[in-house]
Amino acid sequence: MKEKKTVSFSKNSTNIFFHILTNCNLNCLHCYINKKQHGNTTLSIDIIKAWLDAFAAKSKIANVVFLGGEPTLHPDLSQAVKYAIKIGYKSVTVDTNGYLFNEFLSKIEPKDIDYISFSLDGATSTTNDKIRGKGSYDKCVSGIKSSVSKGFNTSLIYTVSSANIDELAKMEPLLSDLKIGRFFIQVIGIRGKTAKGTSVEGVNNPQVLREKWVDTIPIIAEKIAEHGIIVTYPKVFLEPDDKFECAGLVADNYFIFPNKRVYRCPLCEDYPIHGMEFSGNELVQTAKINETDLFKLSIPEGCVMNKLIQPGNLSYNPDGSPEYKIACCLLKEEIRKS
């Protein structure tokens, strides 16, 4: 028996997505990092600790995800992971492309971290490597196997675009073979490289049409969950009568970048409209107008930022009303075998 539920923004917890650097060894076609907006600094371990401390009052309900660029390129990542646990963070995750630099796995133990989360964008090297770079498939699979063999809880992220959605079904046996515990299906956003017009595997419009998403993602997610794997994917599309909620208003999420910017909405990250920033090591509000002013706007299409930056996934009736709403990008569906 499977349990399916909508995860409503983790309203009773705090989620910190901490980009400790923006450098990466890969050059993925859909990379959302924008160094002009996010900086090119590698944060020192002292600053990482101080910024983690800034959320200390929330730490008992806070989940922190260390990201990059590629976070294992940071020589002190293992120290950051252990420090987050030491000061009481509820959970700690590292998102990695699988290369696992600086002998990261040898510097931590399974008790130090909740999940190591790997990124793979194809069930075959042919598809994945066209998107993420030559040799990245084999390297990621090798990293997963090393992680599992050492007893770490391991999850996998698959960013769906029109270039790889038809290969998603092939992930079912691979996930079981690799002993993946959680599977995150992401939808490609028009951010970073894709916002600049970069094609993904020769596809100029990488967004997935609503019909294709609705007819494909839930069915595949259900099949994968049959193997005892927890599957999470974004809701994306709401019916016109469904209630729209913005996570910026009802949840507690922080997206931290090395240039001191702190966003509350990932769709805003290509623009200097961050609602918060670090001044020294203190988290402060930024001057208006910023992203928080957008959160309060209400439109028939649902998400305001989606309407502004990626209206290509919207469709309208003859009378001009939207056929559906776009959900907040942080609204997820979760399926697990009960």
Contact 180, 171 (CB under 8 A): no
**Which residue stretches of the chain are H helix?**
35-38, 45-53, 77-86, 104-107, 125-132, 136-149, 171-177, 210-225, 247-250, 291-295, 304-309
Question: What DSSP state is assigned to residue 256?
Answer: E
> What pLDDT shows up at residue 204?
67
d(CA 158, CA 238): 22
pLDDT in tens, the chain (338 residues): 567 655 556 666 789 999 999 999 999 999 999 999 999 999 999 999 999 999 988 888 899 999 999 999 999 999 999 999 999 999 999 999 999 999 999 999 999 999 999 999 999 999 999 999 999 999 999 999 999 999 999 999 999 999 999 999 999 999 999 999 999 999 987 676 665 556 666 656 788 899 999 999 999 999 999 999 999 999 999 999 999 999 999 889 999 999 999 999 999 999 999 999 999 899 999 999 999 999 999 999 999 999 998 888 899 999 999 999 999 999 999 999 87
81: Cα separation from own chain's centroid: 18
Say whether 101 sits in a helix, a strand or coil: helix
What number of other Cβ atoms are within 10 A of residue 11's Cβ?
Answer: 11
Asked whether the beta carbons of 293 and 281 are under 8 A apart, the reply is: no
β-partners of residue 96 are 118
Q: What is the pLDDT of residue 312?
A: 85
* Amino acid 155: pLDDT: 97
Q: What domains can you pick out in the chain, each with its CATH number?
A: 2-243+327-337 (3.20.20.70)
The string of DSSP codes covering 141-192 is HHHHHHHHHTT--EEEEEEE-TTTGGGGGGHHHHHHHTT-SEEEEEE--S-T
Distance CA 107, CA 132 (A): 26
CA atoms within 13 A on the CB side of 166: 4
Instruction: Provide the pLDDT for residue 250.
Output: 86
Tell me, what's the pLDDT at 61? 87
Task: Return the ∠ at Cα 104 (arms to 170 and 112), rounded to 5°.
Answer: 90
Give strand pairing partners of 187: 160
Which residue from 231, 249, 116, 239 is spatially nearest to 184, judged by alpha carbons?
Answer: 231
The string of DSSP letters for 279-319 reads ETTEEEEPPSSSHHHHHT--BTTB-HHHHHH-GGG--B-TT
Sign of CA dihedral 84, 104, 18, 303: negative
pLDDT of residue 148: 98
- How much is the pLDDT for 93? 97
**Tokens 């793979």 sit at which residue?**
120
Place of tokens 């990201």: 67
Question: Are the CB atoms for 230 and 182 separated by under 8 Å?
Answer: yes
